[in-house]
Structure 1
Amino acid sequence: MKNIKILPIALALFFSGCLYSCNDWLETGSNDEVLEDDAFSSAKGFRSALIGVYRLVTSENLYGQELTWGLLSSISWNYQSGYAIPKYRGPLQYDVYTDNNTKTIVSNIWGAAYNAIANCNNLLKQIEGSNANFEYTWEKDMIMAEARGLRALLHFEMLRLFAPAPITGYKGTTIPYVTDYPDLLPQHKNTEEVLTSIIEDLEYAKQTLRPIDVDELRNKSIWIVNGNRMDNIEYVLFQGVLNLKSDGTREGYGDGFFAFRGYRFNYWGATALLARVYSYMRDNTKAEQYADTILNDWVGSDKFHLYSKNPKATSNPNAIDGKRIPEPLIAFWNDKVCDNYKTAISSIYNRMVDPQYLFDGDLTEDYRYTDLYNSSNYRYRVWDGQDASYSTNNSIVNYSNPLIPVLELPEIYLIKAECLAARGEIPKALALLKEIRDARGCTNTVSASDYDSFMEKLVNEANRDFIARGQTWHFLKKLNWPKLYNGTPANKTVPDGWYVLPMPDSETAYY
C-alpha cells in the first residue's frame, strides 16, 4: 500500500460547524501520513480531500494573506512604506524585489500554490477511476469540476505573478501547467499554452457545475419564512440554507457538504473567472461574452448585486460589511482570517497611503472612504471584521468575517465597461461605472470623451474598489498601466520590472 504525504491543514475541518464534526474527518498519524487507499476509498474521503485543498488555498501563503491583504496589497502601494509590515517594506523602499524577505515570501507563495495544485491532481487521479458510492449521481462530477476549477485558478495566479502580461507581447516561457501527479519534471510553457490549459479547465468546471449549482442546488433551495419563498442568492450561497435529503428535498438549515456554495468554486465563479482570464488576454469579445452571462442572467435584487451602505453605518462605521456580500463570485472561508490579520498588523502596521486624492470629489459620500477608511488609525476596514453589535443583520457577520473575496461583481462591471469603451460606446461604459458609484453612495457625475479619458476614470474606480483586496496590482498589470496611486496627486511611476515577480530559485521542488 502506497503512502502519500498530506499536510495537516489539508485534513483539518473546513467550515467550523458547517460541514461535519471533527470525528467525521480523516485523522492523520503523528507523521502526518495517511494510507492513500483508505483516504480515497469512499465518497467521504474524496470530500475530505477536496475540503483539504480549500484549506490549503486559504493559508497565509495564499489567499489567507499574501494574495489578498499581504504582499499583493503592499506592492499595489495600498500601505505607507514606513508603516507596512516590515517584511513587505523592501519593494516599497527600493522599487525592486531583490531583498531576502520578498524572496522568501515569493518562494512560499509558489510552493503553497503548487502543493495545492498537486493535491488537486492527486484527487483527480484517484476519483476518475473510483467506484466509491457517492450520495448523488452528480457528486463525483461536482468534486472533479471544483478540483479542475481550483487548479485553473491557482495556475492563473502563478501566471499573473511570475510572467509578463499578454499586453506586453511577451512570447517566452513562463510557468509549468501541472496536470499529472506526481510530476517530477514539469515543463515550463509559454503564455498561450498556459492560458489554453486554464481555459480548458474552466470551461469544464463551468459546464459541469451549471446544472449542479443552478438546477440541483439553487433551484431546490427554497427557504420558507412566514409563508414567503426565500431563494435569494445571499441566503443560498452564503448562509447555507440547503441541506439535501436522500430523496433530493431540503430539510432545515444547510450544514452539509452541498451547502455554502458561495465559499467554494462554483458555476458563477467559473464564469466570472473566464471573463477575467479573457480580459487579461485582451480578448474583449470573449471577456464581454462571459461578463454578459453574469450581468444579464445573474444580477438582480434576489441574485448577485452591488453592496449598498448599511444604514447603521451612519452612526457607526463598524456596521458596514467590508466583504460586501453578495458581491463575491469567488470566495473562500477561513474563520481565523480576521484574527490573523489583527495579530499581524499589531497596533502600528498597515497604515494606508493618504486616500484623499483617490476619492477626490466624493470625500463626503463614497462609503469606501467615509466608512471603510478609519481616519483615526489610518487603516482600512475589510479584514478587521464587522461588529455584530451594530449590524442590521447580525447573522451575516458570521458569514462575512471569515469570507475571503477572490473575484467580485464590480470587476465584472469594469470588464464590461472597458469592452464597451474600446469600441467607442463611451456613454454605455460610463453608465456601468455609474452603477458601481451609485451603490457606493456617490452622486457626482463622471465624464469622459474617448477611450483614454474613460480609462482614467475606470482605473480610479478600480483603485478605490480593490483597496486591501489584492487585486489592484493585477488589474493595473493587465493594462500595463504606467502609474500607481501612492497617496500623492501625481501618483508613482511604475518601476521597471514591477509587474513581474522573480521566480523562486527552488521552484522545481514543489511538484
Structure 2
Amino acid sequence: MKVMNKVFKNICLAVGLITTVSSCGKYLDVKPETSVLEEEAFKSAAGFQTALNGVYLQLSSYDMYGGKMHMAFPELLGQRYYQTSSSSYYSIASLNYAEKKTKDMAADYWNNNYKLIANLNNILDHLPGRKNLFAENDYNTIFGEVLALRTFLHFDLLRVFGPVFNTSDSVKSYIPYYSWRSAEARPYLPANQITDSLQGDITAALKYLKSDNIIKGAASPTDLGFPLRKTRFNYYAAKALQARMLLYRNDKAGAFEAAKEVINIQPTLFPFSGKNAADVQNDPSLLGDCLTYLENTKLPVSYDNLFVYTLDASALLAPRQEVLAVIYPETGDARMQTAVWRPASDGSKSVCFYKYAPIYRQSGSVKYQVNIGVPLIRASECYLIAAEADPDPLDAVKYLDVVRVARNILPTLANATLRTELTKEYRREFFGEGQMFFYYKRINSATMPNSSSTSTTATISMNSTKYIVPIPDDEQLAH
C-alpha cells in the first residue's frame, strides 16, 4: 500500500482550527482532554460555524488561495509571468521540478490542502446526529458546503499532482483520497477512482445544497450567520465545480448540462461587472460574476509579496508588456484597464499587475478597504465550458461571445477556430486566478508560451509527463 506519511503527522486538530487554525499539534497524539474540548466545540451550531470560518480564514491566507497557491504557483507553471535565470521563481516557470524552490512550493501546496481536508473531515465527522442544533435548513447547507469544499481541495490536488486524464496514466496511482478524518494514512489511488469518488461527493453536496438560500436569490438572516453566500461555497459554485470536473474527464455532455444550470441564473444572481472604467476602478477583480470568492482582508500582504512595483525586479511577478499586448489586443477590454494593468508609478517597471492592489475609500473619519475579494470560481468559466462542450459549433461560439461582449471586446470572427479562441479567452479571463496551467494540462497542449523568452511567439514543448508535478520528497520516501 502506498501511504501518505508526513502530512498526517502535523495536521491541526479541530480545537486549533477554532482558533483560526494557527496552532498545530501532532495529529496522531489525540489526548483525552483535547477530545473533550473538541466535543464541547461542536455542541452548538455556532461551534460548527466557527470551525468552518477557521477553514475559510486559512483558505484565504497568503500561504493558500488568498496568495501564492492561487496567484503564484499555478500561474508560474502556466507561464504567466516573465522569469529570467536570475528571477526568484525561475525554476518553477521552467518546470524544473528537481530545484528546491519548486519542491518547496509544491510541498506547501500538498501539505496545506491536506491539512484543510482533515479539518473539513473533522467537521463532517461531527455533523451526523446533530441536525437538531440547527435552524431550518442550515444543517443541510453547512453539510453540503463542507463536502463541496473538500471536493474542491481534493480536485485541485489531482490537477497539480495527477495526470493528463485522457491518457493511459489515468489508471496509475497519484494521490490519497480522505473521505473521513483518519488517524492512518490512506492509500494512493488511480486518477479515475479519485474522480469517481469526487463526482459522488459533489453530487451529494449538491443535494444538501438544494437548501441553500442563494437559490432563492438572497441569503436569509438565519442562514447560519452567512449573509453573503457568494463568499461561501454555495450551490452554484458546487455546480460549476461539477462541470469543471466532468470536463476534466472529457464527459462533455455532463459538463454541458451542469454549466447550463449556472448560465441560466447568471444574469440574475451573478451579473457581469466592469462595463465601464469607473466600475473596474472600484472592482478590478470583476467580482460580479464570481460564483464564490474569498474574503481576504489581508490581501495587501499578498500584493506586497508578489506584485507591488517596489519589489526587486527578480521577485516581481509580471508579464512582459509585449506579451500583455498580445493577450489583450483590444484596449477597451475590461480586463486590460489601468486599474488592472499599468506601468509602475515611479516609472521603474514597464507594467505591473494591480488586480489585487489595495483600494481604500474614506467615509467621514473612517478609512476602509474596498477590494478584499479573491475570485475562486467564476460564472464565465461555465460559458467557456459550454462553448467547449456544446455539440453544435454555432451555439458554442455564442457562449464564448457572451463572455467577450461582457468584457467589452468584439464577438468572435466568423472564420475563427474555436479551440484557438477558447485558449485566448482563458488567457484573458483568469489572469492571477490559477487556471491557465490546468487548462493547458487538461487539453494536453503540445506547447505553452515561454515566459522566459523576450519573444511573444516563443513556446516550450510539453508532454503528459511534464504536466505532472511530483509529490513531495517526504511522501515519495513513504512508498
TM-score by length of 1: 0.78
Is 2:134 the counterpart of 1:166?
no
Give the counterpart of 1:408 among 341, 357, 378: 378
Contact kept, 8 Å, 1:79 with 1:351, in 2: the verdict is yes
Q: Specify every segment of 5 or more residues in structure 2 that has no aligned partner in the other structure, as ranges.
A: 1-11, 23-32
Is 2:221 the counterpart of 1:243?
yes
SS state at 2:326 partner: coil
Cα distance in 2 between the residues matched to 1:284 and 1:414 = 12
Give the counterpart of 2:356 among 383, 400, 403: 383
Partner residue, 2:300? 338
Deviation of 1:360 after TM superposition, in Å, equals 6.1
Deviation of 1:443 after TM superposition, in Å, equals 3.0
Q: Which amino acid aligns with 1:76?
A: G
Is 2:427 the counterpart of 1:463?
yes
- CA shift in 2, pair 1:46/1:320, >3 Å: closer
> After alignment, is 490-499 or 58-67 more displaced?
490-499
Partner residue, 1:310? 276
1:52-109 deviations in whole A, cap 9, x for unaligned?
Answer: 12222223332122331111111111111039972x22132x4321111111111111
Partner residue, 1:107? 107
Contact kept, 8 Å, 2:141 with 2:208, in 1: the verdict is yes
Partner residue, 2:73? 71
Partner residue, 1:477? 441
Contact kept, 8 Å, 1:141 with 1:208, in 2: the verdict is yes
Deviation of 1:291 after TM superposition, in Å, equals 0.6
Cα distance in 2 between the residues matched to 1:299 and 1:64 = 24
Contact kept, 8 Å, 2:14 with 2:51, in 1: the verdict is no
Deviation of 1:381 after TM superposition, in Å, equals 2.4
SS state at 2:189 partner: strand
Cα distance in 2 between the residues matched to 1:9 and 1:179 = 19
Deviation of 1:479 after TM superposition, in Å, equals 0.7
SS state at 2:266 partner: coil
Write the mapping of 1:67-466 to structure 2, written as runs, cut at 5 A. Answer: 67-82=69-84, 86=88, 88-92=89-93, 94-130=94-130, 133-134=133-134, 136-170=135-169, 171-214=171-214, 218-219=216-217, 221=218, 242-244=220-222, 257-296=225-264, 298-300=265-267, 302-312=268-278, 319-346=281-308, 347-348=310-311, 349-354=316-321, 355-359=323-327, 361-362=329-330, 364-371=331-338, 372-376=340-344, 377=349, 378-386=351-359, 388=361, 401-420=371-390, 423=391, 425-443=392-410, 445-448=412-415, 453-466=417-430
SS state at 2:127 partner: helix
Deviation of 1:293 after TM superposition, in Å, equals 0.6
Q: Which amino acid aligns with 2:228?
A: F
SS state at 1:69 partner: helix
Aligned residue pairs, count: 438
SS state at 1:406 partner: strand
- CA shift in 2, pair 1:356/1:176, >3 Å: closer
Structural RMSD (CA):
3.1
Cα distance in 2 between the residues matched to 1:150 and 1:197 = 14
- CA shift in 2, pair 1:434/1:387, >3 Å: farther
Contact kept, 8 Å, 2:214 with 2:229, in 1: the verdict is no
1:173-228 deviations in whole A, cap 9, x for unaligned?
Answer: 1211101222412011111111111111111111211233246xx45x4xxxxxxx
SS state at 1:322 partner: coil
Contact kept, 8 Å, 2:307 with 2:353, in 1: the verdict is no
1:212-263 deviations in whole A, cap 9, x for unaligned?
Answer: 3246xx45x4xxxxxxxxxxxxxx6xxxxx423xxx9xxxxxxx72311111
Partner residue, 1:17? none
Contact kept, 8 Å, 2:62 with 2:301, in 1: the verdict is no
Deviation of 1:286 after TM superposition, in Å, equals 0.2
Q: Which amino acid aligns with 1:484?
A: M
Contact kept, 8 Å, 2:131 with 2:139, in 1: the verdict is no
